[in-house]
Amino acid sequence: MTDTLPILVLIRSYTDHLSYYDDWQDAVTRHPGFDVTVRNIAAEDQLPTIAREIEAAPFILLLHSTNADGCALLRRLMPAFQARRGHLAVFVGNEVNLPLAPMAEKFAFLADARADLILTQFLQETGEWYYQPLEGATVCSIPHALNPVAYQPGPPLSARPIQIGVRSFRYGPYIGDTERVDVHRLFQRLGEEQRLVTDIRIGDGRFNRKDWAAFLARCRGTISTEAGSAWLDRDDVLMHATQDRLKALTQGQIVLNQDGLARRMARLLLPSVLKRAIIRALGGRLVEDYNLGDHADEATIRAIQADLFTADRRAPYHTKGISSRHFDAIGSGTVQILVEGRYNDILVPNQHYIVLNRDFSNIEDVLVRFNDISACQRMVNDVREYALSSHTHSHRMARLEESLRSI
């Protein structure tokens, strides 16, 4: 019998509205091949203890939550990572150029910590290309998967009251890729025209895992795109250029940079009551740097994107992929209308989902397919069985265990 692998698993627990964080933690802790100790780096008073455990652990695994929104807490543990005796594996979260969590910052952490195994959501060939500068690291593609315990089939499609339901983060202008924004607007308009019964909220109204599963079970269908952007670089050049253009439009307003000196000092020195009073006094003059797009009109944003995100600047590999939300819908037996894409070559168009052309030219055909409830019921039943056969978190953990044992 093969011995279990002793693994120190680091998480950053700070929200229950990103259900895939819970899914991956559950998957690792339940995997029979692992003997897991979980530590939360958001518990800052525990960082000295965590540092000692990092130095001694045979295997250290960083889940997506530790770096998806930045590496500041991980940086405080850098001496321990560099002094460690064991192997370091890192699930990279949010593999896209974001103001709050730049990819350059993640590259710097991976390099300085001398990560042994980089676990990417990209296709294997994309991950090998993208992380190629990190010498000595092995790249392994481990995309999202189905949690069949948390996401179970709801009522028959014919009994679900919502035809199209969506909860999603809003993609900022710095992403460059507008597919998600555009498809949400298309179906919001269809709802306004009363062609569909919709419940679409973008940017707010996110659920915890239990409520998200319940919401999906009330929806006959949902809409989405691949996650990520076709424009991806390692040093965030396009993101910064977009932000600079948007900042130039904020005349008379104070832009708060997340990593600026003023913001860092305020976090450290000012009581919460005083910070709230300052925000109230300044009112609409304060602009968060990651929300700059909220202060520009749509025509201006599209003009900036057209100028910066040109065809010659697209990544040379496919840098978009399947997300946890796609598998959540599969588990809930909810029909997916998805903009055409590769979806990590896991999902087959018009077999596992209804495909919508990028230019939306087939929308009428999509609606006809969607309204064929019998065919859609067969589709959701079949795709769930397919996912259960080869794309659950248990399958991903087997792949992870194989990769860790081969280091």
Q: What is the pLDDT of residues 150-190, one digit of tens each?
A: 999 999 999 999 999 999 888 899 999 899 999 999 999 99
Whether the CA torsion 226, 231, 237, 239 is positive or negative: it is negative
Residues 200 and 285 both lie in one domain: no
Residues 296 and 359 both lie in one domain: no
pLDDT band for 20, please (50, 70, 90 cuts).
Answer: confident
* Per-residue tokens: 242: 């977009």
The dihedrals phi and psi of 216, each to the nearest 5 degrees, come to: -60, -35
- Total domains in the chain come to 3
Residues 259 and 356 both lie in one domain: no
Q: Does any domain span residue 226? A: yes
Residues 163 and 129 both lie in one domain: no
Residues 223 and 367 both lie in one domain: yes
Residues 366 and 382 both lie in one domain: yes
- Of 67-71, 272-276, 374-378, the range with the lowest mean pLDDT is 272-276
Please count the other Cβ atoms lying within 10 Å of the Cβ belonging to residue 266. 14
| 281, burial (CB in 10 Å: exposed 0-12, middle 13-18, buried 19+) | exposed
Q: Does any domain span residue 151? A: no
CATH number of the domain residue 91 falls in = 3.40.50
Q: Does any domain span residue 35? A: yes
- Give the C-alpha separation, 84 to 47, whole Å: 15
**3-state helix/strand/coil string of the chain:** CCCCEEEEEEECCCCCCCHHHHHHHHHHHHCCCEEEEEEECCCHHHHHHHHHHHHHCCEEEECHHHCCCCCHHHHCCHHHHHHCCCEEEEECCCCCCCCCCCHHHHHHHHHHCCCCEEEECCCHHHHHHHCCCCCCCEEEECCCCECCCCCCCCCCHHHCCEEEEEEECCCCHHHCCCHHHHHHHHHHHHHHCCCCCEEEEECCCCCCHHHHHHHHCCEEEEEECCEECCCCCCCCHHHHHHHHHHHCCCCCCEEECCCCHHHHHHHHHCCHHHHHHHHHHHHHHEEEHHHHHHHCCHHHHHHHHHHHCCHHHCCCCCCEECCHHHHHHHHHCCEEEEECCCHHHCCCECCCEEEECCCCCCHHHHHHHHCCHHHHHHHHHHHHHHHHHHCEHHHHHHHHHHHHHCC
At 249 the pLDDT is 85
If you average pLDDT over residues 109-135, what whole number do you get? 98
| Strands, sheet with 59-62, edge to edge from the N-terminal-most edge strand | 34-40, 5-11, 59-62, 87-91, 117-120, 138-141
Residues 15 and 97 both lie in one domain: yes
Q: Does any domain span residue 243? A: yes
Q: Does any domain span residue 250? A: yes
Contact 172, 296 (CB under 8 A): no
At 253 the pLDDT is 66
Residues 141 and 272 both lie in one domain: no
At 19 the pLDDT is 77
Q: Does any domain span residue 76? A: yes
Q: Does any domain span residue 152? A: no
Q: Does any domain span residue 346? A: yes
* Per-residue tokens: 196: 């569909």
Residues 125 and 45 both lie in one domain: yes
If you average pLDDT over residues 285-290, what whole number do you get? 65
pLDDT band for 203, please (50, 70, 90 cuts).
Answer: confident
Residue type for position 227: A
pLDDT per residue as tens digits for the range 299-331: 999 999 999 999 999 999 999 999 999 999 999
- Give the C-alpha separation, 273 to 295, whole Å: 27
Residues 92 and 23 both lie in one domain: yes
- Report the Cα–Cα distance between both ends of the chain, in Å, rounded: 20
At 1 the pLDDT is 46
Residue where a domain terminates, one of 313, 330, 354:
313
pLDDT band for 23, please (50, 70, 90 cuts).
Answer: very high
- Give the C-alpha separation, 98 to 403, whole Å: 29
Please count the other Cβ atoms lying within 10 Å of the Cβ belonging to residue 181. 19
Q: Which domain holds residue 211?
A: 157-230+318-386
- Of 30-34, 64-68, 201-205, 375-379, the range with the lowest mean pLDDT is 201-205
- Give the C-alpha separation, 310 to 176, whole Å: 9
Residue where a domain terminates, one of 294, 313, 332:
313
- Whole-angstrom CA distances from 199 to 150, 193, 219, 222, 288 are 22, 14, 9, 10, 28
Residue where a domain terminates, one of 254, 288, 313:
313
Residues 330 and 219 both lie in one domain: yes
Q: What is the mean pLDDT of the chain?
A: 92
Residues 94 and 214 both lie in one domain: no
